[in-house]
Amino acid sequence: MSSNSNKTSLSDRFKTYLRRVCRVGKWDNKNEARVFIGFTVSIISLIIDALVYVFFCILSEWSPFLFFTQMDRIQLALFLFCVLHFIVNSLVISGILVEIYDYTILKPVKSLIMQMRNINRGEMTDYLLSGKLSKPFATIGREETWVDMVQSYVDTAASEKYLDELTGCFNRKYFSQVLVNYMKTQFLAHPIPRGPKTYSLDVFAVFLIDIDHFKQVNDDFGHAAGDEVLRQVGSTLRRLLGDVGVVIRNGGEEFLIISSAKFPYDFSHTAHMINQAFRDNISIHSDVTGETRKITCSVGYVYYPLYDSTELLSLQNHVDLADQAMYLSKINGRDTWRELVANKRPPVGFDLNKFCNDPDYGVKKDYLTIRKPN
């Protein structure tokens, strides 16, 4: 049993090492580069020397497939020259290429990474260094390379215009200039398959969250307390979503979330966790009156894309629908969630404005149904 386990472990380690070696230009050390470059140069040198040897054999009317003991002195000398040339050429060229790679790319990049890692770190810096700006949703199981790290640092340096300073979340500019294009690229690269969904398929949902009675918090506790609530909300939502979602301050006390999962995940679990996270983590205390008030939220969401097509409704249309679902949560008691669920696909020429801004229109036309907690 132990022997089989060791064999499996060795096999897994070898496969992992082989994968790392094959990450061209993204190697973590010189050994990985040396193996790949050395192997590649050796194959190319072997092919060239073999072709040269065969060409001169044919030119001299020698058989290129003789055993070396059967060759005459000139053919043997040519054969040994080609073998020696192959060995020296492989070692010298691969060695030079590895040193050039190490000197011009690997060492400078690793030095930059070490400098960036030594900067003053905080929650917001760590959030940005996770690569959220250019890669909102983590690729599960994918090893981070130094190329990914550098991209994250570049993102961090360029992130100021996309951040809401108060909450530490992204802003609407990030939504319109980065996320919309990112989602389009995702679906162009990975079109939605026709027919039944598979378990490896990425699925998305658009959430809109509104802090309940936020104006009353400002009136009763002051605007400084309201700002503290917004900071708590931003921090709580970022921790809750982690690598599978991106949090955007939509304006005022509204927060927009785009979350990802693997089919057949039910996003009502996420909606429930958001409501529960508010109840458990967000509150405000008055030193003057001694009052502590729990803060709750109303959540609305829709799957993206709603009708298995990104052409019918834009990402902004989905945000508008999530807003309507959130409104239904607010008029039904707050501290809860509602989902607008796709039913019958709207026909060509349907009233898009009413569909996105009046949930009764979609429900009456049988395009949508409303889902709520059990």
At 140 the pLDDT is 44
Per residue in 54-71, pLDDT (tens digit) is 999 999 888 888 887 888
Per residue in 245-260, pLDDT (tens digit) is 899 999 899 999 999 9
d(CA 227, CA 233): 10
> Smallest Cα–Cα separation from 135: which of 152, 154, 113, 158?
152
State the average pLDDT for the chain: 84
What region, left, alpha or beta, does residue 299 occupy, with left being phi > 0 and alpha being psi -120 to 50 degrees? beta
Over residues 344-351, mean pLDDT:
90
Contacts of 284 (CB under 8 A, 6+ apart): 217, 221, 225, 228, 229, 292, 293, 295
Per residue in 311-343, pLDDT (tens digit) is 889 999 999 999 999 999 999 999 999 999 999
Question: Could you tell me the two tokens for 79?
Answer: 């054969």
Is residue 4 scored above 70 in pLDDT?
Answer: no
Per residue in 67-94, pLDDT (tens digit) is 878 888 898 899 999 999 999 988 998 8
Question: Could you tell me the two tokens for 30?
Answer: 């010189």
At 29 the pLDDT is 75
> Smallest Cα–Cα separation from 207: which of 257, 260, 273?
257
Helix and strand numbers (H, E) in the chain are: 14, 8
Is residue 202 scored above 80 in pLDDT?
Answer: yes
Query: Please, what is the Cα angle at 9 between 6 and 15, to 5 degrees?
Result: 140
23-27, 273-277, 297-301: least confidently modelled range: 23-27
123-132, 150-159, 281-290: least confidently modelled range: 123-132
At 127 the pLDDT is 59
Is residue 283 scored above 80 in pLDDT?
Answer: yes
> What percent of the residues of the chain are helix, what percent strand, and what percent coil, each to the nearest 5?
55, 15, 30
Over residues 165-191, mean pLDDT:
84
For the domain 161-371, what is the CATH superfamily, name and number? Reverse transcriptase/Diguanylate cyclase domain (3.30.70.270)
SS (H, E, C) 174-215: HHHHHHHHHHHHHHHHCCCCCCCCCCCCEEEEEEEEEECCHH
Query: Do 140 and 104 touch, CB atoms closer than 8 A?
Result: no
Over residues 31-51, mean pLDDT:
88
Query: Do 320 and 359 touch, CB atoms closer than 8 A?
Result: no
Per-residue confidence at 141, pLDDT binned at 50, 70, 90?
very low
- Domain-wise residue ranges, the chain: 2-118, 161-371
Query: Do 106 and 113 touch, CB atoms closer than 8 A?
Result: no
